[in-house]
């Protein structure tokens, strides 16, 4: 059954969005965007969309008016889908609905996400965003929040143009050789994940590959030091190659059948 998407406005719906924030991200009440704040933002041209499955709110998307590159924009602050409702296309449907509503009133939709979260990377690049901005510790060091402890709050900025000439949809990079033009050297750990062991900052090919973990949260739980290495090296690589003029516009992921492990790569192009 396809989810039904509509704008949210009732007090009960806003309170449900607060509950979903806690369920999805493990946030304390003081860390959530409250129903009162959501209501205030809606009175000032914010957009809050909800996804319903059989009259049950299973996810929401929240954005606020902003400016980007000198143009009116919307910054998409939150996208959350209940854990039991994931992998059903709900997040993708929410973003498509957001685009449809905003495309004639703003020039851009932007949002931030953790560069190490492969699930989010896959969704965002599938939508057709581009990425060439890296923000360090956007929300501070994160040590007071369980979700961010040990990894901090570095973020990519996703840029989504809403020009009438633009049609949402990720770029197909074609066949990808994951043995060539790799930024990182990685090694398989018997614990069940890849470690990053080296970095190459001398590439100048038109297409290079930036690997990230298939599941950073699993690595963080079993080997925080390894997770921290992924953060530090990804920061170094992204900042360097963005400064060299590279942009991320697609994402490649596959399962290594021999190891039963997912491998994920940002594709950077000049």
CB-CB neighbours of 157 under 10 Å: 18
Per-residue pLDDT of the chain (270 residues; tens, 9 = 90+): 688 999 998 999 999 999 999 999 888 888 899 999 999 999 999 999 999 988 899 999 999 999 999 999 999 999 999 999 988 999 999 999 999 999 999 999 999 999 999 999 999 999 999 999 999 999 876 656 655 666 889 999 999 998 765 666 667 777 788 889 999 999 999 989 999 999 999 999 999 999 999 999 999 999 999 999 999 999 999 999 999 999 998 999 988 877 778 899 999 999
- Give dist(CA 212, CA 118) in Å, integer: 7
Residue with tokens 């530090």: 232
CB-CB neighbours of 138 under 10 Å: 15
Q: In the prediction, which pLDDT does 259 show? A: 75
Q: What is the pTM of this model?
A: 0.90
Q: In the prediction, which pLDDT does 200 show? A: 98
Q: In the prediction, which pLDDT does 143 show? A: 56
Selection from 1, 34, 42, 40 nearest residue 17 by Cα: 34
Report strand pairing: 134-135 vs 155-161.
Answer: antiparallel
CB-CB neighbours of 165 under 10 Å: 5
DSSP of 180-229, one letter per residue?
SSBSEEEEEETTTEEEEEEE-----SSEEEEEEES-HHHHHHH-HHHHHH
Q: In the prediction, which pLDDT does 46 show? A: 97
């Amino acid at each position: 059954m396809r989810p039904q998407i509509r704008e949210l406005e009732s007090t009960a719906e806003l309170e449900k969005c607060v509950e979903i924030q806690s369920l999805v991200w493990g946030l304390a009440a003081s860390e959530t965007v409250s129903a009162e704040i959501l209501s205030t933002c809606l009175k000032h041209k914010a957009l809050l969309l909800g996804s319903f499955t059989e009259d049950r709110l299973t996810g929401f998307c929240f954005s606020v008016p902003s400016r980007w590159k000198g143009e009116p924009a919307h910054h998409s602050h939150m996208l959350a889908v209940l854990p039991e409702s994931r992998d059903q296309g709900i997040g993708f449907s929410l973003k498509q609905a957001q685009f449809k509503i905003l495309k004639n009133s703003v020039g851009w939709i932007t949002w931030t996400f953790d560069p190490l979260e492969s699930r989010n990377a896959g969704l965002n690049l599938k939508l057709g965003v581009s990425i060439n901005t890296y923000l360090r510790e956007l929300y501070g060091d994160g040590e007071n929040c369980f979700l961010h402890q040990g990894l901090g709050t570095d973020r990519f900025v996703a840029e989504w143009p809403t020009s009438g000439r633009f049609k949402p949809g990720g770029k197909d990079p074609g066949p990808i050789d994951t043995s060539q033009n790799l930024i990182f050297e990685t090694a398989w750990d018997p614990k069940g994940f890849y470690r990053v062991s080296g970095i190459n900052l001398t590439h100048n090919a038109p297409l290079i590959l930036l690997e990230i973990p298939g599941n950073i949260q699993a690595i963080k739980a079993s080997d925080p030091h390894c997770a921290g290495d992924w953060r530090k090296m990804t920061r170094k690589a992204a900042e360097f190659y963005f400064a060299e003029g590279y942009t991320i516009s697609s994402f490649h992921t596959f399962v290594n059948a021999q190891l039963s492990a997912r491998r994920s790569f940002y594709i950077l192009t000049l």
